[in-house]
């Protein structure tokens, strides 16, 4: 079992750190939020007073932070030089490919192994240890990261060289953003056409309109499995983070000369939702926006 420094104990990182502790690892956990650190302690982690303290004895460092600027800042200020020589660094955040490549290159220059290992699955999967990891990095770094990631997930897939994990993640989330918008508008139309929404769910979840957005993350309260819709769209995957991912995908598409009209439309709608004041709500709150209820 390894000594692990874990930084970023939010909606996703909290459950992930808990699963590493449950698997028997010694997890030294830090977040800027004292409440998040206290929850990690309740889940079997050792609380750290700073990020530097969390990584000081770590053979492995895991980070789960909001965006590229947080990842760059934490590695530059708190991990490089503080984590022991030769440590394996695993960034599970969803960030832009350029930041992922820059941080990994700086890590390699300092003698660390590093992978980008963004996740799919949402908080339910983070808590249950059933995430899907898409990993970018050299073969030896992937081999070292795989058993650690397996304690938090159901699938760990080597996507390619450093940055390939982030590339896979933004393509996946562009698809997710577009299917969530489509799922929301289908439910709103079904309602206007007089259909019972549970009945429409029973039909479409077993028909060709089925998607993860419908069957694992239904945007309608009281329909399908329990989701953030049942908690007033609180918690979950913030719309602002979905907007971040869509912007990353659109920017990458421009750089690669790829046509992404559905992704661009989803991006414009999530921007409008955020402008309406709902960026802090779960991304399934798109249904409220399309129904003219955002910001209320
Ligand atoms: P979150 O905002 O709930 O958690 C981020 C945590 O990082 C917060 O607790 C914050 O206090 C902490 N933090 C920020 N800066 C810090 C610093 N300098 N030092 C220590 N802690 C710091 O976000 P989340 O929903 O857990 O998402 C984290 C990442 O995972 C994002 O990149 C997101 O895009 C990605 N992601 C989220 C989901 C989801 O369903 N929520 C799913 C897949 C991927």
pTM: 0.92
226-247 pLDDT, tens digit each: 999 999 999 899 999 999 999 9
Delineate the domains of the chain, giving CATH numbers in brackets.
3-161 (3.40.50.720), 167-290 (1.10.1040.10)
Asked whether 243 lines ligand 1 (CB < 6 A), one says no
18-70 pLDDT, tens digit each: 999 999 999 999 999 999 999 999 999 999 999 999 999 999 999 999 999 99
Atom number in ligand 1 closest to CA 65: 7
Look at residue 296 in the predicted model and tell me its pLDDT.
75
Asked whether 14 lines ligand 1 (CB < 6 A), one says no
Atom number in ligand 1 closest to CA 244: 34
Structure tokens at 185: 């508008």
Asked whether 145 lines ligand 1 (CB < 6 A), one says no
Each of the 296 residues of the chain gets a pLDDT tens digit; together they read 899 999 999 999 999 999 999 999 999 999 999 999 999 999 999 999 999 999 999 999 999 999 999 999 999 999 999 999 999 999 999 999 999 999 999 999 999 999 999 999 889 999 999 999 999 999 999 999 999 999 999 999 999 999 999 999 999 999 999 999 999 999 999 999 999 999 999 999 999 999 999 999 999 999 999 999 999 999 899 999 999 999 999 999 999 999 999 999 999 999 999 999 999 999 999 999 999 998 77
Q: Whose CA is nearest to atom 16 of ligand 1?
A: 32
Asked whether 183 lines ligand 1 (CB < 6 A), one says no
Q: What are the distances in angstroms from CA 74 to CA 83, 110, 184, 200, 255?
A: 12, 15, 37, 46, 27
Q: Whole-angstrom distance between the N-terminal and C-terminal Cα of the chain? A: 48
Structure tokens at 244: 């971040």
Residues 6 or more apart from 89 whose CB is under 8 A from it? 60, 61, 63, 75, 79, 83, 107, 112, 113, 114, 115
Expressed in angstroms and rounded, the spacing between residue 176 Cα and the centre of ligand 1 is 18
Atom number in ligand 1 closest to CA 30: 20
Expressed in angstroms and rounded, the spacing between residue 247 Cα and the centre of ligand 1 is 17
CA distance 201 to 215: 8
Residue 169 designated active-site: yes
Q: Are the beta carbons of 282 and 236 closer than 8 angstroms?
A: yes
Look at residue 294 in the predicted model and tell me its pLDDT.
85
């Amino acid at each position: 079992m390894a000594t692990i420094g874990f930084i970023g104990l939010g909606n996703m990182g909290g459950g992930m750190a808990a699963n590493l502790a449950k698997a028997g690892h010694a997890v030294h956990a830090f977040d800027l939020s004292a409440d998040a650190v206290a929850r990690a302690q309740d889940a079997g982690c050792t609380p750290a007073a700073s990020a530097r303290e969390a990584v000081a004895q770590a053979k492995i460092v895991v980070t789960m932070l909001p965006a590229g600027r947080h990842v760059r800042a934490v590695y530059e200020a708190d991990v490089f030089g503080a984590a022991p020589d030769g440590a394996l660094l695993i960034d599970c955040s969803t960030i832009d490919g350029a930041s992922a490549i820059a941080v990994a290159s700086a890590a390699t220059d300092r003698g660390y192994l590093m992978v980008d290992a963004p996740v799919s699955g949402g908080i339910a999967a983070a808590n249950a240890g059933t995430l899907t990891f898409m990993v970018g990095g050299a073969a030896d770094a992937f081999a070292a990261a795989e058993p650690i990631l397996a304690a938090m997930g159901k699938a760990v897939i080597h996507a390619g060289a450093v940055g390939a994990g982030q590339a896979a993640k933004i393509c996946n989330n562009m698809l997710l953003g577009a299917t969530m918008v489509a799922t929301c508008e289908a439910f709103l139309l079904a309602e206007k056409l007089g259909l019972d929404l549970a009945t429409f769910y029973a039909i479409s979840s077993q028909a060709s309109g089925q998607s993860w957005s419908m069957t694992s993350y239904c945007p309608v309260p009281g329909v399908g499995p329990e989701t953030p819709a049942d908690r007033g769209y609180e918690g979950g995957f913030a719309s602002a983070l979905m907007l971040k991912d869509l912007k990353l995908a659109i920017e990458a598409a421009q750089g690669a000369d790829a046509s992404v009209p559905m992704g661009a439309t989803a991006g414009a709608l999530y921007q409008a939702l955020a402008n309406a004041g709902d960026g802090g709500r779960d991304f399934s709150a798109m249904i409220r926006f399309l129904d003219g209820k955002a910001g209320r």
